[in-house]
Amino acid sequence: MGRLLLIIGIFFLVWVGYRFLKNTWSARIKAIEDQEPKTSSQQHKIQNIKACAYCKTHIPEDEGITRDGLFFCSYQHLDSYLEHKAK
Ligand SMILES: [Zn+2]
């Protein structure tokens, strides 16, 4: 009977240990996965600074608008540029 309890105790400890490790590792992997896209998007932003074709302001490419190969900081400047060009 004592041996059975010992075996059950060992299984319980292994199970608790397994669950603890599994939670720790999944939390770590999740933390790493959460960090990676942020870092790559930050590098992406730093690498792709473009000048607005209208006001020449330099802003990250993914925050502006690209139209017909030209880059604009806002839709307002896209419209202003097209109006100016049309005249
Ligand atoms: Zn602009």
* Ligand 1 centroid distance, CA of 54 (Å): 5
For the chain, the domains span 1-47, 49-87
Contact 49, 27 (CB under 8 A): no
Tell me the per-residue pLDDT of 37-70, one tens digit each, with 9 for 90 and over: 665 555 554 568 999 999 999 999 999 999 989 9
Q: How far apart are the CA of 39 and the centre of ligand 1, in A?
A: 27
Q: How far is the CA of 69 from the centre of ligand 1 (A)?
A: 15
Q: How far apart are CA 61 and CA 81, in angstroms?
A: 18
What's the 6 CA to ligand 1 centre distance in angstroms?
Answer: 74
Nearest to 75 by CA among 85, 63, 58: 63
Residue 70 CA to ligand 1 centre (angstroms): 11
What phi and psi, each to the nearest 5 degrees, are found at residue 38? -65, -45
Report whether pLDDT(84) > 60.
yes
